[in-house]
Amino acid sequence: LETNNIPHPKEKLFLGNLLDLQSGRRVQDMMKLAREYGPIYQLNMPGRSLIIVSGYELVKELADEKRFDKKVWAPLQNVRSFAGDGLFTSWTQEHNWHKAHNILMPNFSMRAMQGYLPMMIDIAEQLVGKWDRLNSDDEIDVPGDMTRLTLDTIGLCGFDYRFNSFYREDMHPFVNSMVRALQEAMERGGRLPFEDKLLVHKNRQFQADTEFLNSVVDRIIKERREGGEDSSQKKDLLSYMLTGTDKQSGEHLDDLNIRYQIITFLIAGHETTSGLLSFALYELLHHPEVLAKAYEEVDRVLGSDLTAHPTFNQVNQLRYVTQILQETLRLWPTAPAFAVYPLNDEEIIGGKYKVTKDEDIAVLIPMLHRDRAIWGDNPDAFDPEHFSPEAEQSRPADAYKPFGNGQRACIGRQFAMQEATLVLGMLLQRYHFIDHTNYQFKIKETLTIKPDDFKIKVRKRTDAE
């Protein structure tokens, strides 16, 4: 493989740079290499070449949709075995991407968000219901409870299904299969092709998990189709998928594609948002001055009546809480990378680096978000003022990309931000947070990143004051 003039770490015989990225800490290793090799570097893996870009000036070029388009790169190709041609794992030129994009976009408008709020509140009430009933020395598994919350929320808003995760100790079997399948999809990227074939047990498990996911989702679709009148009244994503027509082609989505979309929404819609909420709580524990301002805002906007449900307007008025979440996504973008390819066979970026269609060109978001040219000399410091209206106005758009790029950007971004703002607001309204383990920050990597083994205790604010 040609490396031309792109900086790259030394390669090992046969393995190339395979060992530079360790399983379970690939993103963190990529960040370390970016600090060492700069805004663009290349890794050669057996059978593929990976170019990792994290400087703003270069990302600005990759974000130009006239020159580059989303690539379904190695990690996504493995996810494609169970997410098929759903929105997240399809190529832009696939007919089903356009069709589903056109049909589903209206379901993520501001108006649609207003419709999802009562369902989001329903699940958020279950979370605080659980935390309210804890004894004072009970500990909370933060990423665990946040995953229960976000999974149940997308289940309810997506297809009126209740995973009821707060009513069980273990995760729902569907979640276990999904997480295992995602994990396997990720690990395949770090193995040699012949190793993959040797892992008979893992392959069987992957197949069994995929079949289980399909069967659960196909049953939900079938039940809805057979449900008659009553089900056609439902205002969830599934009902739009079943009835919506693409104005461009006049077509509906077929059942196989609907299955893939549901699996996609479950994957895309829960780990990312739960990681966001978990990192945000971590940052709040370490920044008392930010926490104090957040309490002040929540008390002003939501007040102290814990029986009143937050309204759509109130959630939108939680400006500082939103800034906290945006800043959390700057340092810890929970979907940490996306890939593009040049629409022409090759392109020159940065005036001197040749990149081609065959390489995986990945934008490493956590390091883009630490580019000193944009964020100043202390880019690792957590500071929600980065998202004050003034700061936002003076910053170029492509410097901040936690939700990806252009037409292939996250369809669920408003959904995620509304959910996270609501929940963080409700938690701040109710609790003091206690770091009783003196938590040592550690990241767990799957398809997403989240704080590993992060536990806290809470005290009701009404008790303490």
CB of 254 vs ligand HEM, minimal distance in Å: 18
Q: Is the CB of 280 or the CB of 457 nearer to ligand HEM? A: 280
Q: Is 185 in the site for ligand HEM (CB under 6 A)?
A: no
Q: Is the CB of 6 or the CB of 113 nearer to ligand HEM? A: 113
403 catalytic, yes or no?
yes
Kindly name the residue from 147, 153, 264, 272 that is annotated as catalytic.
272
272 catalytic, yes or no?
yes
- x/- mask, ligand HEM, residues 90-109, rule CB under 6 A, reads -----------x--------
Among 121, 368, 411, 427, binds ligand HEM (CB under 6 A): 411
CB of 365 vs ligand HEM, minimal distance in Å: 7
Kindly name the residue from 163, 206, 338, 403 that is annotated as catalytic.
403
Among 334, 418, 421, 429, binds ligand HEM (CB under 6 A): 334
- Rounded to whole angstroms, the Cα distance separating 412 from 232 reads 23
Q: Is the CB of 56 or the CB of 415 nearer to ligand HEM? A: 415
Distances in Å between the alpha carbon of 308 and those of 218, 338, 380, 415, 435?
Answer: 38, 40, 38, 22, 29
CA quadruple 9, 13, 15, 18: dihedral, nearest 10? -20
Q: Is the Cβ–Cβ distance between 418 and 321 less than 8 Å?
A: no
Q: Is 244 in the site for ligand HEM (CB under 6 A)?
A: no
Among 302, 410, 422, 456, binds ligand HEM (CB under 6 A): 410
Q: Is 402 in the site for ligand HEM (CB under 6 A)?
A: yes
Pairing of strands 40-45, 48-53: antiparallel
Q: Is 412 in the site for ligand HEM (CB under 6 A)?
A: yes
- Extract the tokens encoding 337: 């990378």
- x/- mask, ligand HEM, residues 56-85, rule CB under 6 A, reads --------------x---------------
CB of 238 vs ligand HEM, minimal distance in Å: 12
Q: Is the CB of 158 or the CB of 310 nearer to ligand HEM? A: 158
Q: Is the dihedral of CA 106, 108, 114, 120 positive or negative?
A: positive
Q: Is 120 in the site for ligand HEM (CB under 6 A)?
A: no
Kindly name the residue from 410, 421, 433, 454 that is annotated as catalytic.
410
Q: Residue type at 363?
A: V
- Extract the tokens encoding 200: 């008979």
CA neighbor of 260 nearest in space, from 210, 301, 311, 224: 210
Q: Is 154 in the site for ligand HEM (CB under 6 A)?
A: yes
Using the rule CB under 6 A, give the single segment among 123-131, 133-141, 404-412, 455-463 that binds ligand HEM.
404-412
- Please name the residue that has the structure tokens 């001055």: 289
Q: Is the CB of 16 or the CB of 336 nearer to ligand HEM? A: 336
Q: Is the Cβ–Cβ distance between 249 and 173 less than 8 Å?
A: no
Count interface residues toward ligand HEM (CB under 6 A).
Answer: 25
Task: Name residues whose C-beta falls within 8 Å of residue 136's C-beta, 6 or more positions apart in sequence.
Answer: 457, 459
* Residue of closest CB approach to ligand HEM: 412
- Rounded to whole angstroms, the Cα distance separating 33 from 420 reads 31
**Range 246-275, binding ligand HEM (CB under 6 A):** 264-265, 268-269, 272-273
Q: How far is CA 440 from the centre of its chain?
A: 23
Q: Is 206 in the site for ligand HEM (CB under 6 A)?
A: no
410 catalytic, yes or no?
yes
**Range 269-308, binding ligand HEM (CB under 6 A):** 269, 272-273, 276
CB of 179 vs ligand HEM, minimal distance in Å: 16
Indicate left, alpha or beta for 444 from its phi (over 0: left) and psi (-120 to 50: alpha). Answer: beta
Q: What are phi and psi of 305, to 5 degrees?
A: -80, 100
Q: Is the CB of 102 or the CB of 205 nearer to ligand HEM? A: 102
Q: Is 116 in the site for ligand HEM (CB under 6 A)?
A: no
Q: Is 415 in the site for ligand HEM (CB under 6 A)?
A: yes
Distances in Å between the alpha carbon of 332 and those of 22, 31, 218?
Answer: 19, 12, 34
Q: In sequence order, what DSSP letters do the residues of 184-208 get, joined into one string?
A: HHHHHTTS-HHHHHH-HHHHHHHHH
- Rounded to whole angstroms, the Cα distance separating 87 from 80 reads 10
Q: What are phi and psi of 141, to 5 degrees?
A: -85, 100
- Rounded to whole angstroms, the Cα distance separating 216 from 116 reads 23
Query: Which residues are annotated as catalytic?
Result: 272, 403, 410
Give the footprint of ligand HEM on this chain (CB under 6 A): 70, 87-88, 101, 154, 264-265, 268-269, 272-273, 276, 333-335, 338, 402-404, 408, 410-412, 415-416
